[in-house]
Copies of this chain bind each other. A is one copy, B any other.
Amino acid sequence: MKAHRCATFVLVGLSLASNAAFAQESLRAKVEAWTAANQRAIVTEFLDLLAIPNVAADRANIEKNASMLKVMLVKRGFKAELLATEGNPLVWGERLVPGATKTVLIYCQFDGQPVSPKGWAQPDPFVPFVRTGRVDEGGQEVKDVRSLTKFDDSWRVYARSAADSKSPIIAFMAALDALKAIGLPPTVNLRVIMDGEEELSSPNLVPAIAKHRDKLTADVMLVFDGPMHYTDQPTVVFGARGIQTAQLTVYGPKSGVHSGNYGNWIPNPALRLAHLLASMKDDHGNVLVKGFYDDLVPLTQEEKDMLAAIPSDDAKLLKTFGVAKPERDDVSLQQAFQRPTLNIRGMQSAFIGDGARTIIPDRAVAEIDMRLVKETKGGTMLDRLRAHVAAQGYHIVSEDPDDATRAKYTHIAKITSPRREPTAAFRTSPLLPESRRVIAALENVWGEPPVRIRTAGGTVPISQFIDALGFPAMLVPIVNFDNNQHEENENVKLGALFKGIVTYAAVLRQ
């Protein structure tokens, strides 16, 4: 913990006046007191919101969610409207603060992953269940929740989107209510954009910018989404990797041939794919594709310190996954996120197990994903991959080869990319004034610096929107790490929701 404080001190430096810290500590106490007194109202609004199914394809219910969200915003003094798109409507709101010089755009997501009720411990993922703990650790149902006035921090609300991502919306609304009640209004102008197609990769978010640029302009975007660091400490995420996928097919005979009748003679595409994949990356974690790491910029000492300050227990993770050593001995998980990846996410040639037949298969396919960092662009990386395959002696096609092509080339590979465009990485410098203000707000209110993630390993669709908006953005997540996001039994800890109200209040008072 001390190490983290020191590192933050370097980052936040002398801008942190002690009276600000005192004011924020007082803020925390006041918001916590208000929250304790208003748990029933907070939880009730949360349960009401969760009870409206929100799968993006379910347009009627999505519109009910949007209407409720609009009402919730209006109730908090926002000018609000629904912005029509080619898909689901966006919920937009604006609340200007007299005298404020800065504008914050807050992004929330209100759609959720599709549900298959079968795996859930409750009958309906859209009928929220409150439990005394994790259902898989024996958490019991709390009955008559709407009649209670006190809720334990360890209790959990189980429902689709309980964590991803209706609880941040509730925490945000409650933070506004708390600030009003304690007479400490937001210090910044607020704009809000709520997305009903995040789980579809937000296809209508970027197009909305062209039509509504003036409604979305701000100095910084804060994304109220995602889980906190796995220690459940307050967290700010300054970046996420992008992704570029590719499907690689190596061709053998036109159809599978008998491995006895043609073995040692007809080339085997699975072996060829093995050679090709092995040529792309060695067994020590180094991608051998020419130029793969060329665009990277070395980390500064400050950036390295920030990575080192992130709490981590890599040994425990390895044990959890049953892996003796990571790909590279000398690289921590956080360091691993700072570079692009080349990953084989799937591979197949003919069949294994009971379906196996003694044949030389007709083709072998690898599904590849490359995680991108800010400096590495999907298109460029795909070009490099193509050039690598060509350099191994392959003729590259974009469709299954015809007879003439087959007769001409000994080695034929198809490379296709199923995504029309890659999802880019995003990264906001934590040294920007906008970043420092958020870090300081969290440090002041909680008495210790937030976990500052330079780059999350995964990819967020919001990257495209961030890229297109052109101003700094960061994620301020509040939900517990063990929330079963996207899975059965998705849940949020009520303690995390209540802490989130403090976090968002601090951010609104930055």
Q: Which residues of A contact B (CB under 8 A)?
A: 240-241, 243, 245, 247, 252-255, 257-268, 270-278, 281, 283, 285, 319-328, 331, 333, 336-337, 339, 341, 343-353, 355-361, 364-367, 369, 371, 401, 403, 406-410, 456-459
Contact = CB atoms under 8 A, between A and B. Distances in A.
16 contacts: A243-B260, A254-B321, A258-B457, A259-B341, A261-B457, A262-B321, A265-B336, A266-B321, A273-B274, A274-B277, A322-B406, A322-B407, A324-B406, A346-B352, A346-B355, A347-B352
Contacts of A348: 347-349, 351-352
Nearest to A279: B278
B259 A327 contact: no
A349 B339 contact: no
Contacts of A266: 321, 323, 326-327
Contact of A271 (B281, B358, B407): B281
Shortest Cβ-Cβ A-B pairs, 6 listed? A260-B458, A264-B336, A263-B341, A274-B277, A270-B344, A322-B406
A345 B458 contact: no
Contacts of A327: 264-268
A361 B341 contact: no
B349 A361 contact: no
A264 B247 contact: no
Contacts of A407: 319, 322, 324
Q: How many copies does the complex hold?
A: 2
Contacts of A240: 260
A352 B260 contact: no
Contacts of A268: 327, 343-344
A283 B279 CA distance: 12
Given A260-B458, A406-B323, A356 B352 contact: no
A343 B347 CA distance: 17
A345 B359 contact: yes
A357 to B, nearest CB: 7
A409 B318 CA distance: 12
Given A260-B243, A347-B364, A331 B278 contact: no
